Amino acid sequence: MAFYLKNPRNIINNLKSKRFQSTTTEKQIDSVPNDEHNQVSWIPLVCYWNDESVNETNRLHDLVLMFYKPLQQMIEWDSVSVLDFPGGKIVFSPEMRFLSESPSVYSQCYRVLDDNGQLISHSNFVPVSEEVAVKMYSNMVTLQTLDTIFYEAQRQGRISFYVTSIGEEAINIASAAALTSDDIVFPQYREPGVLLWRGFTLQEFANQCFGNKADYGKGRQMPIHYGSNKLNYFTVSSTIATQIPHAVGAAYSLKMDKKDACAVTYFGDGGTSEGDFHAAMNFAAVTESPVIFICRNNGWAISTPTSDQFRSDGIAVRGQAYGVRSIRVDGNDALAMYSAVHSARQMAVNEHRPILIEAVTYRVGHHSTSDDSTKYRPADEIEWWRMARDPVTRFRKWIEINGWWGSEAESQLRSSIRSQIAERAEKPPVNDLFTDVYDNIPSNLCEQEKLLKETINRHPKDYPADVPT
């Protein structure tokens, strides 16, 4: 049953601060939009209770009297205004009102640490032990150093391509820390920190980027296309957003097999402009699959700003449209990211539901080594985010405040990282170009392999000397 209420804004504000309470019902008054005169027009006030023997009309009348007696004269009763529709209850209204194209109040952004690493008063977060906190910080510093080494290697011509995670270290490491090793990860290409947390060594990163013989892809992938079957990390693919529906399918499989795990997929704000994102969100909601969508909203899809991509209030609000529980988080706050992903995982696994996390951050580095971001955004804006909003510095201040870190530990950490990488290693043999597709290599590929080796032998100066033939 629905009832219609006409009342000025002050009465609604009064009601919103109260709850209908009894042994059979508890209903919070939802927020109500204003019209141009700051008055509330006829709005539906819907109450439900479990005791069907209670006369609904008398029940609501008693509840209204309990909290605001003037309302008893402002209720219009209509016993046929709720339709039990297959998709949910439809509440009818005599008022013609279009949904606004933008909210009057923007979605809040969950944050625990301020820019100086201080806990914000009354913060609600998941506690982190000293051991976990120190590992999180160490991994963020390692990721920064890794980016520096490989970025310089590309600039020196030793590798062909690289993508950094500068400014997004907290999203990488904090989210990984909140997951378990059984959770399956479907990355985009800016999440090497998740692999780092799970135990992927710096040498393994180097093997992939340099295409060494020890590379799991045998040198057949472009740099930064990491993958590890052992660590439940699907191989990176450059095609935008294709990993999102894959993650939902994997999550549905985990649900069917009754596994205590979830799937997690990462993507940028540009990925949400692809149809794969929308199909995956709806697929996940309908199948109630345990999947966590983590969107790195860093403001730019290469050179396209978010203002040219969408008019919605960010990404999190889209989850509600698909029936997916969502949250917006300060992606530069490692403690907030850890807490949000930790809670999201519990809900996904225990309740069998998808969760969308919008991590608001900024891509401090160029999109890739093929990009010069100063051509489309001001250099002083980049520098401000690098200095004032650096997630690594912010988290370091917090662990220092707790007495868990100091300058001596910092020096030891930074000096030890570079020594863990050996660039020079044997390259994969040429015949690896033709294997791992067919069980029995067809004759045309055998002919191509023979011709390639003959060409290399005739023109040895045109081919790398360290590639075995």
Could you give the CA distance from residue 175 to residue 48 in angstroms, rounded to a whole number?
39
Catalytic residue among 169, 326, 367, 373: 367
238 is known as an active-site residue = yes
368 is known as an active-site residue = yes
Catalytic residue among 107, 238, 273, 343: 238
339 is known as an active-site residue = no
What are the tokens at 96?
Answer: 């013609």
State the Cα angle at 332 between 330 and 333, rounded to 5°. 70
Catalytic residue among 95, 152, 383, 426: 152
Could you give the CA distance from residue 392 to residue 317 in angstroms, rounded to a whole number?
28
Residues 6+ apart with CB under 8 A from 158: 210, 423
What are the tokens at 138?
Answer: 């160490």
Dihedral angle, C-alpha 171, 177, 178, 179, nearest 10 °: 100
37 is known as an active-site residue = no
Q: Which region holds residue 241: left if phi is over 0, alpha if psi is between -120 and 50, else beta?
A: left
3-class SS string, the chain: CEEEEEEEHHHHHHHHCCEEECCCCEEECCCCCCCCCCEEEEEEEECCCCCCCCCHHHHHHHHHHHHCHHHHHCEEEECCCEEEECCEEEECCCCCCCCCCCCCCCCCCECCECCCCCECCCCCCCCCCHHHHHHHHHHHHHHHHHHHHHHHHHHCCCCCCCCCCCCCHHHHHHHHHHCCCCCEEECCCCCHHHHHHHCCCHHHHHHHHHCCCCCCCCCCCCCCCCCECCCCECCCCCCCCCHHHHHHHHHHHHHHCCCCCCEEEEEEHHHHHCHHHHHHHHHHHHHCCCEEEEEEECCEECCEEHHHCCCCCCCHHHHHHHCCEEEEEECCCHHHHHHHHHHHHHHHHHHCCCEEEEEECCCCCCCCCCCCHHHCCCHHHHHHHHHHCCHHHHHHHHHHHCCCCCHHHHHHHHHHHHHHCCCCCCCCCHHHHHCCCCCCCCHHHHHHHHHHHHHHHHCHHHCCCCCCC
Dihedral angle, C-alpha 124, 128, 130, 136, nearest 10 °: -110
CA dihedral sign, ordered 311, 314, 320, 323? positive
Catalytic residue among 165, 339, 368, 373: 368
Catalytic residue numbers read 152, 238, 367-368
